[in-house]
Structure 1
Amino acid sequence: MYGFGSKTALLEDFASTSLTKYSVVVVNGYLQGTNIKQVVVALAELLWDQLKTKRSPSRSSSKAQQPFNSRSMDDLLAFLDGSEDTTNECIVCVVIHNIDGPGLRDSETQQCLARVASCSHIRIVASIDHVNAPLLWDKKMVHTQFNWYWHHVPTFAPYKVEGMLIPLILAHGNTTQSAKGATIVLQSLTSNAQSVFKVLAEFQLSHSNEEGMPIDNLYATCRERFLVSSQLTLNSHLTEFKDHELVKTKRNSDGQDCFHIPLTNEALEKLLADLCPSTLCRFYVLIQVAIIQNFHSRLKR
């Protein structure tokens, strides 16, 4: 499942209505401390419970009764893919919120999840939010092991649960921690959303004595840079920023809504550097300027 907005409620509703006849394990990939070995052990224990109800006591296996948490990962995966249930009636479903989340994003974990997905007794449904999430997988993982069916489900729901658990706290902590937390959130958003945030950040760095960037100015700048096509699009980005506490709103002396980022200038500069390395950033700006100049020259003709 992919698309703008949190898909947590959607997946949980699917699990509670469509997967009721199966054992279900829910994995929260947005948690930093997610332990893939514990997940696989839980799957094996649930599958073993199902198999026990289908076999007679005389057919019980001493190996299968060995505690799963003491067995190797290869042994666990072999069990999940075993042929003890030749009818494949014993199925365990895995619901993964943010399979591209910080708790599951490393290569070793993704390889393990791909092997789990290819096991005969396992079915997986998952959500992704990072724009580059498919780069986590090679062709074998996508087409043979995971064998995804892709569903575009833009819910436009705020990332309340996912965002709440990210150690952001922009107004506190040191510069490095604040910039790193904001970077983690921004990297999960679209490139357009990141560019809108950069407009705010650049304005704040060059107008440090002002209360924030008026929404009319922000909209005009984003339109000029072809980042948004309407006020509605801009509002959706701003809602996302506010949900993650990336920006704050206040009224200026003219009664106009202004947006500011609760970070020091030092943290903002580090954040921009993390999002767009200097060389690449200059190249991007030069390309963007060239496009705009070419566009204006065509209009004059």
Structure 2
Amino acid sequence: MDMAEGDDEEFGFSRNYFLAKELGGSGKKSTHKLSDIDLVDEQELRAAAANIDPKHEKEVRELMNSYASLYPKWVFELRCGFGLLMYGFGSKKALIEDFASTALTEYSVVVINGYLQSINIKQVLVGLAEILSDQLKNKRRNTLGNWPKGQQPFNSKSVDDLIAFLDGPQGEENDCLVCIVIHNIDGPGLRDSETQQILARLASCSHIRIVASIDHVNAPLLWDKKMVHTQFNWCWYHVPTFAAYKVEGAFFPLILANGNTSQSAKTAVLVLQSLTPNAQSVFRVLAEYQLSHPDEEGMPFDNLYTICREQFLASNQVTLNSHLTEFKDHELVKTRRHSDGQDCLYIPLTAEALGKLLLEIS
């Protein structure tokens, strides 16, 4: 009897399943659309995510301590000419920065945030060359090493010349190393083929060592066999941290949020906080001008330079241009042609977002 009842029940379920499929196919289609979903405000969503209590704190702390015990080995591998590549679940930003601040104190360290939308790789090379030049000058009590007096500044050199300088001759200056920390070497600002080729050539330079992290599952597809084994010369380390991608995720809109002006201002605040006070003040001048002249297409460079000189924010155009280059790299400031043919600077934010931004950085 029990078996018969079970067969009847199974038969009834099957019959209802196919009946439902038949009715569903012939019935009216739903009129609901994805756009009908009432998305939550992004600022509220990020605030809620920030208030989530961390779990397994003791286990995570023990895990991080186990990574710290590897620091001497990592330093040894860097000195031997290898690059360190960190992968695994969770943000590796805090781990790599802790390694750099505690174990790489004898070397100059340059940080590249690959999670930013755009990065000027030429300016990175110029900065590395200037740092190495200072090291060689202090080491030999001479000027600019391979770059004699009278040579043009590094800004005027080509990428090939800069890499040639960083790959200087082996010798007594072999201990002059510059370590590059690259958060998300597979990030949107670095993942194009040309940039990866430049980074690979940079990694093979005698005075350069790289510590990088990857998070995208297809990141290894960025490199061919030569880049992996000869140029980057990676030592792969699986270091899951289970840490939230708070900083990295701040530059990308959340899928369940409506992406309003509050988030745009919040993202800009995070970028500005990483810049110098002078750079923030220059940005404030531009923002206040844009708010007080809403009908204009932007602020002429000459006007900005005059105000910055009066407020002692920039003593020359070179200094001001360096700030503007940094703004443009982070997409905080853009340029467009005025109706009279003059190039003008503007901040690609609404007046509401710009007002909130000024309040935040105050």
Smaller-chain TM-score bracket: 0.5 to 0.7
Change in CA separation of 1:64 and 1:127 when aligned onto 2, cut-off 3 Å? farther
| Cα distance in 2, alignment partners of residues 74 and 63 from structure 1 | 20
Equivalent position to 1:107, from 169, 190, 193: 193
Equivalent residue for 1:26? 111
Q: Is 2:153 the partner of 1:73?
A: no
Change in CA separation of 1:167 and 1:62 when aligned onto 2, cut-off 3 Å? farther
Change in CA separation of 1:50 and 1:131 when aligned onto 2, cut-off 3 Å? same
- Counterpart AA for 2:101: S
| Cα distance in 1, alignment partners of residues 149 and 249 from structure 2 | 43
Change in CA separation of 1:104 and 1:153 when aligned onto 2, cut-off 3 Å? same
- Counterpart AA for 2:209: R
Q: Is 2:119 the partner of 1:14?
A: no
8 A Cα contact 1:90 1:121, kept in partner: yes
8 A Cα contact 2:115 2:189, kept in partner: yes
Q: Is 2:138 the partner of 1:53?
A: yes
**1:68-217 → structure 2 map (5 Å cutoff):** 68-83=154-169, 85-168=171-254, 170-172=256-258
8 A Cα contact 2:253 2:259, kept in partner: no
Change in CA separation of 1:90 and 1:64 when aligned onto 2, cut-off 3 Å? farther
| Cα distance in 2, alignment partners of residues 64 and 42 from structure 1 | 19
Pairwise CA distance, 1:56:
3.3
For residues 138-157 of structure 1, give each alpha carbon's deviation from its aligned partner in whole angstroms, at most 9, with x where no partner exists: 00000000000000000000
Pairwise CA distance, 1:88:
0.5
| Cα distance in 1, alignment partners of residues 143 and 232 from structure 2 | 36
For residues 113-141 of structure 1, give each alpha carbon's deviation from its aligned partner in whole angstroms, at most 9, with x where no partner exists: 00000000000000000001000000000
- Structure 1 runs not aligned, ≥5 long: 175-301
Change in CA separation of 1:96 and 1:128 when aligned onto 2, cut-off 3 Å? same
- Counterpart AA for 1:27: I
8 A Cα contact 1:51 1:85, kept in partner: no
- Counterpart AA for 1:52: K
Change in CA separation of 1:107 and 1:59 when aligned onto 2, cut-off 3 Å? closer
Change in CA separation of 1:72 and 1:139 when aligned onto 2, cut-off 3 Å? same
8 A Cα contact 2:134 2:144, kept in partner: no
Change in CA separation of 1:88 and 1:153 when aligned onto 2, cut-off 3 Å? same
| Cα distance in 1, alignment partners of residues 88 and 233 from structure 2 | 19
Pairwise CA distance, 1:171:
3.2
Change in CA separation of 1:67 and 1:158 when aligned onto 2, cut-off 3 Å? same
Change in CA separation of 1:165 and 1:62 when aligned onto 2, cut-off 3 Å? same
For residues 36-77 of structure 1, give each alpha carbon's deviation from its aligned partner in whole angstroms, at most 9, with x where no partner exists: 111111111100000000223489642685311110000000
Q: What SS does the aligned partner of 2:199 have?
A: helix
8 A Cα contact 1:4 1:155, kept in partner: yes
Identity %: 77
8 A Cα contact 1:29 1:102, kept in partner: yes
8 A Cα contact 2:170 2:206, kept in partner: no
Q: What SS does the aligned partner of 1:150 have?
A: strand
> RMSD across aligned C-alpha pairs, in angstroms?
2.1
TM-score (structure 1 length as normaliser):
0.55
8 A Cα contact 1:6 1:156, kept in partner: yes
Change in CA separation of 1:169 and 1:59 when aligned onto 2, cut-off 3 Å? closer
| Cα distance in 1, alignment partners of residues 219 and 155 from structure 2 | 30
Bigger drift between 135-144 and 80-89 goes to 80-89
Equivalent residue for 2:17? none
| Cα distance in 1, alignment partners of residues 215 and 149 from structure 2 | 40
| Cα distance in 2, alignment partners of residues 65 and 20 from structure 1 | 31
8 A Cα contact 1:23 1:92, kept in partner: yes
Q: What SS does the aligned partner of 2:176 have?
A: coil
